[in-house]
Amino acid sequence: MAMIRLEHVNKYYGQGATRFHVLHDINLQVAAGELMAIIGESGSGKSTLINIIGFLDDDFEGNYFYNDQAIHDYTRADFAKLRNQHVGFVFQNFKLIRDISIAENVILPLLYAGVGRRQAKKTAARVLSRVGLGGYDDKLPTELSGGQQQRVSIARAIIANPDFLIADEPTGALDTKTSQEIMDLFKQLNQTQHTTIIMVTHDPRVAEQCERVVKIIDGRIVDDRKVGGN
């Protein structure tokens, strides 16, 4: 059974005569435990697609069934709850709040889920050491390198045990070596924790390490194939 099922999803930007058709009739299913890459040129609509998949964008046409729930009918507040409980985000530019500590950043999803600060901080320490940043709790994001900041962002994404991760160009701002470290971390999460990961990338070296690659050109899925992964 597919965890994520998109049926005839269309997405437009703007209105009236200047309306721009970004996604054309997207049909896509993602099963639990997959490590999937979405590739395409910039402007092809791949980010728009994962924003919809990740419950960031509730303004689209078509049907989105999440574990067979028809979430295209949900309200804005429902979407906030979905984001909080079911998905973790990793962004290209990390998106950490700059004037609060690493631990404070990481515990945000737990705080919004209603967990107490003390409990959340314990969990954060554990998750930070899992991503290789044990003991960095009280540092500020600006004191860390790009690769380390991306690890913090991954720690934040996985702290609430989401069903899947959305990663938008997670290695886009990192050098080759650091990119590989982050990819190793994703693969490790996928293999040991069976975390479903959907990432957008235009880096072929990153894409070829995934099990499944979906290619988008001009808002249409043109290719969807299993690759070996490793």
Partner 1 sequence: MRNAELLRSALQSLRANPKRSFLTTIGITIGIAAVITILALGNGVKKRLSDEFNTTQNGEQYTYLYFTPNDSQSAASGFTETDLNAIEERFGAKVKKAAISHETNNASVSPLVGNERVNNATISLFKRPTSKISIIAGRNLTTNELLTEEPVILMKESLAKKQYQTVQNTVGTSVSIGDHDYRVVGVYRSQANTYNDNKYGADLIGGTKLFYSGTTATTGYGIKLTFYQGANAGKVTKKIKKYMEKKGTSAHDGTYMAVDAGAELTKVNNMITGLTAFISAIAGISLFIAGIGVMNMMYISVSERTQEIGIRLAVGAAPQNVMAQFLLEAIVLTVGGGLLGFVIGWLLAGIISNFMPYHIHAVITLNSFLLAFGVSASVGIIFGILPAKQAANKNLIEILR
Q: Point out which residues bind partner 1 (CB under 8 A).
A: 47, 51, 56-57, 76-77, 80-81, 83-85, 89, 91, 95-97, 99-100, 108-109, 111-114, 116-117, 156, 160
- Asked if 147 and 185 touch (Cβ cutoff 8 Å), the reply is no
Smallest gap from Cβ 156 to partner 1, in A, equals 7
Q: Retrieve residue 56's tokens.
A: 């960031």
Within 10 A of 32 (CB to CB), how many other CB atoms are there?
14
Strands 196-201, 35-40: pairing is parallel
Q: Which is nearer to partner 1, 83 or 130 (CB)?
A: 83
Smallest gap from Cβ 18 to partner 1, in A, equals 16
Smallest gap from Cβ 90 to partner 1, in A, equals 11
> Which burial class, exposed, middle or buried, applies to 230 when counting CB atoms under 10 A from its CB (0-12, 13-18, 19+)?
exposed
Amino acid in the structure at residue 99: D
Q: Which is nearer to partner 1, 75 or 230 (CB)?
A: 75
3-state secondary structure of 215: strand
Give strand ranges (E) for the chain. 4-13, 20-30, 35-40, 61-66, 69-70, 87-90, 164-168, 196-201, 212-217, 220-226
Smallest gap from Cβ 48 to partner 1, in A, equals 8
Is the sign of the CA dihedral 105, 111, 117, 121 positive or negative?
negative
Q: Which is nearer to partner 1, 146 or 229 (CB)?
A: 146
Smallest gap from Cβ 65 to partner 1, in A, equals 21
Q: Which is nearer to partner 1, 16 or 114 (CB)?
A: 114
Q: Which is nearer to partner 1, 153 or 190 (CB)?
A: 153
Smallest gap from Cβ 16 to partner 1, in A, equals 19
Q: Which is nearer to partner 1, 62 or 229 (CB)?
A: 62
